[in-house]
Every structure is written in C-alpha cells, then in structure tokens.
C-alpha cells in the first residue's frame, strides 16, 4: 500500500518472508515497538529515521533499496 502523498513503498514483508523471520523477532532485534514496525510494514509511515533504517538493514542484512522503493508515476508501468 502506497500513501497518496508520495510513491515510496515499503517491502518489509517480502524481506521477512525471504529470511523466514517474524515481525516480533525483528522488533526484538531492532529494538522497535511492534506497533511502529506494523505501521512501517503496512505502508502507513510518513517518514523513517536514519537510525531505524540502519537497524533494519543490519537486522535483515540488506540495503535501503531493498526495503524502500519509489513506485512509477505512470500506473501503466505497474
């Protein structure tokens, strides 16, 4: 789900599935509340701290580009 104000999509669920990790385990690893991680996973977050992004990349062994993606402005491309 993408917020209408921007075109940034969060792909946390794909990364979690690929690594066989649950949201609760991730929340324990990155020291974030389950509520905040849920907001991020469901695309309801409006902004992310660099510290959160760093912690997620460390925990999931990925780059920011794996977590965040900018969707195309043209709906036909999707």
Rule CB under 8 A: which residues touch other proteins?
Answer: 32-33, 35-37, 39-40, 44-49, 52
CA atoms within 13 A on the CB side of 64: 9
Q: Residues near 38 by Cβ (< 8 Å), separated by ≥ 6?
A: 23
Provide, rounded to whole angstroms, the least separation between the CB of residue 76 and other proteins: 29
What is d(CA 76, CA 16) in angstroms, rounded to the nearest whole number?
28
Cβ of residue 20: shortest distance to other proteins, in angstroms?
Answer: 23
Nearest distance from C-beta of residue 74 to other proteins, angstroms: 26
Choice between 32 and 59, CB closer to other proteins: 32
């Amino acid at each position: 789900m993408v917020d209408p104000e921007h075109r940034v999509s969060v792909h946390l669920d794909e990364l979690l599935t690929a690594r066989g990790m649950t949201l609760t385990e991730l929340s324990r690893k990155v020291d974030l509340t389950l509520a905040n991680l849920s907001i991020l996973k469901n695309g309801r977050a409006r902004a992310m701290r660099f510290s959160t992004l760093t912690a997620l990349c460390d925990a999931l062994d990925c780059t920011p580009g794996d977590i965040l993606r900018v969707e195309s402005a043209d709906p036909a491309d999707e």
